[in-house]
Structure 1
């Protein structure tokens, strides 16, 4: 598996992180014709660091402009009237030689100067340089772009570290994951020592999450106070982004952001659009819930009217569960007592919502659409995924009674749903009983989705 290695330095200790997204950057460089690469994702997921490392490894020269911090460059670029003016002004702020065929031009935080996205096609037509654009609020700010250059952008979305990447940071090697993949493919038990070790790391992942700076602090310094301080800083940064980019809707959006932990702890675990403002608001960018999703801060899991393929056909856009994009931030928001309970392996605490958040995060990172189903007859199916033209329901269990799943049984015995098997993700080892496949919760990222390497053309 070709994944990039990069390092961070923390109080004198060098910690190496490996990111799968490096493969997407390699694929873009190999297969592009004249397309620039657009890398988006939430703040603090490691976009800038990885692009810098990719540039230094693959180009003789890298010209980087941060359009949020470099106000002078941003003003000059935003006032360009033509592609010739745009390139001239980029070159004026370049700190590296612009050598055709050997230079990467990296424009960071492009949400601060959206006309760059409109004009990048004219730059790409010259085919003298490679261009990577990156930003943290593109899902929100792209609506302000006058004309998205169709066919001139390839898009990649970066997520927080998934669980496998997290274990790499902990020193888990490929031999361990080869054993896990063997067990998954053969429906056989994982070696018990490996199983216990990965469960232990999964519990740590629930606390730490996948933000690179937080992961570095957690493993390099082994300091929970520092870890939580970094998580608090990221949460505060998200609140500041809401104030900056959400305009007159910021107060309501902040309230929704702050309500996510308590709503997930509620028995229904779902938001209904009308509950906040009294009536649905379905415009994508006026909808306050989906603003958080567009900003890559939250993950909406949509209710479907029927668990039948294809799920998009029965999606109900006004009813959804809303998870945070990083499980560590959810645990942080739940408070220090929850962290202490996890570290002491208390069994009387309901961790269900935190486990579900981790699974939602894994599914999203591996290209799955996020859906669930609930009605009075069947009950609730935590997640639904699509595999080979079939719907597969997933149940997430945090306790020992993971073989009790009446909703799954009901769905499996409903003929017109066409469901031929189901998956339970729990703390148990791999087992198969009838149509139900029991998998350790750390295997959520192995569920196949048919994901392409690049997100696609914009």
Structure 2
């Protein structure tokens, strides 16, 4: 599977100021595979060391943090020559050996020409008892496959049309319908690499393929839950689990067709205040398992300073896992017929796509109106309303536009690309390109004037 992050890995490789790399990401999103695949493509040789499975390597770092000594000992243990100028050294599950994490500081200072890539549990790394090499490492974040990455793996001949739509070019309705069918598959499968691979290997369609995916989801969910106790640190693992498991449960708490703020009462016995939830929520966010969206009442730059952290919506990091945790029937997802879940899944998908592009997410709430997402583009705040179906009347957006007069507003729905009166209607399958589209419109409004249809 091609991953979009590969181009950023190439930039890291070619940087004159390259430091050892730590690839962050939730469990099973493909960190190890991506580093190994990238290394095989870009370097003469890859040297892979799993510090969880191969405890014998720990003694190397306990005895010395000198990079040259470490390399010499690795050469003996691996029975291979390591070319420090042309090879790629991978430390997987680096959190299992705190001294190895500390050694990255010295690799940066004393052996900067050696490319070192690391993967592991993000929270495990943060909780390491070793001195973390602050300022001595580079970070990149990997997320579940986006819809574009999913489409590239399953139906790559549709990618040019997705690109055209992202460039605000109208595509034929027949192609739009094909993209929409694959998008419904993505709703069910999600972006966890093992689930996507299983789906494609089982024919990419049909009940048998969907059931195989659900089986993979259940296994992944069990694995994630087992990590709570292992890496929860000072936070109660049971509290973390209760909050995480309650995120999809709260989809029934819909207000004015939008997901309501996370309700604390009843989740953890005898606890109902945000201060009692803040630590476990931060843990879920920092591990990449939950996506927070904070409320603002007065949208203005800098928007982060106006956010109310105790008024938050929580979304899951993968739409496929959310459907399985919610036990939404496969047939209902394919028919797009699942009641109050429908809007929530659409919102969760948009949150997932925007989050993977590095957006900090906020929502606006007025007296009787609510905008699902606010994102920033330069010095502009862009409101985004999400509609799960073809009905795109955006009453809350009308209220917001009258009150704040944004340069551009966006409605994301199942309908084809169109625009009217400064409001862009974007298909759900293009949500991941929202930032690029918004930036091009703000810099050159004429880019989208050619779209003829208006709603």
Q: Provide the TM-score with structure 1 as the length reference.
A: 0.86
Structure 2 counterpart of 1:99: 83
**2:289 is the counterpart of 1:290:** no
Deviations 1:301-340 (A, max 9, x none): 1222322222212111112111111100001111152x22
> Using a 3 Å threshold, how does the CA distance of structure 1 residues 383 and 349 change in structure 2: closer, same or farther?
closer
Alignment of 1:10-89 (within 5 A): 17-74=1-58, 76-77=59-60, 79-83=62-66, 86-89=70-73
Structure 1 counterpart of 2:451: none
Offset at 1:156? Answer: 0.6
Tell me how far apart the structure 1 counterparts of residues 418 and 99 of structure 2 sit (CA, whole Å): 54
> Using a 3 Å threshold, how does the CA distance of structure 1 residues 55 and 350 change in structure 2: closer, same or farther?
closer
**2:388 is the counterpart of 1:398:** yes
How well do the aligned residues superpose, as a CA RMSD in angstroms?
A: 2.4
Tell me how far apart the structure 2 counterparts of residues 224 and 179 of structure 1 sit (CA, whole Å): 26
Q: Which runs of 5+ in 2 are unaligned?
A: 204-208, 439-455
> Using a 3 Å threshold, how does the CA distance of structure 1 residues 432 and 82 change in structure 2: closer, same or farther?
closer
Task: After superposing the two structures, state which structure 1 stretch, 263-272 or 84-93, moved more.
Answer: 84-93
Structure 2 counterpart of 1:388: 378
**2:168 is the counterpart of 1:182:** no
Tell me how far apart the structure 2 counterparts of residues 349 and 245 of structure 1 sit (CA, whole Å): 34
Alignment of 1:57-456 (within 5 A): 57-74=41-58, 76-77=59-60, 79-83=62-66, 86-94=70-78, 96-124=80-108, 125-127=110-112, 129-135=114-120, 137-139=121-123, 141-144=125-128, 146-173=130-157, 176-186=158-168, 188-222=169-203, 223-247=209-233, 249-267=236-254, 268-272=259-263, 276=268, 277-281=271-275, 287-337=279-329, 339-346=330-337, 350-377=341-368, 379-403=369-393, 405-414=394-403, 417-448=404-435
Q: Provide the TM-score with structure 2 as the length reference.
A: 0.86
Offset at 1:236? Answer: 0.6
Task: After superposing the two structures, state which structure 1 stretch, 325-334 or 150-159, moved more.
Answer: 150-159
Q: Which runs of 5+ in 1 are unaligned?
A: 1-16, 452-458
Deviations 1:15-58 (A, max 9, x none): xx111111121111111435111111011111111111111222
Tell me how far apart the structure 2 counterparts of residues 308 and 63 of structure 1 sit (CA, whole Å): 49
Offset at 1:190? Answer: 2.5
Contact persistence 2:251–2:341 (CA under 8 A): no
Structure 2 counterpart of 1:3: none
Larger RCO (CA within 8 A; separation ≥ 6): 1
Aligned residue-pair number: 423
Offset at 1:387? Answer: 1.5
> Using a 3 Å threshold, how does the CA distance of structure 1 residues 315 and 78 change in structure 2: closer, same or farther?
farther
Task: After superposing the two structures, state which structure 1 stretch, 339-348 or 360-369, moved more.
Answer: 339-348
SS in 2 for 1:231: helix
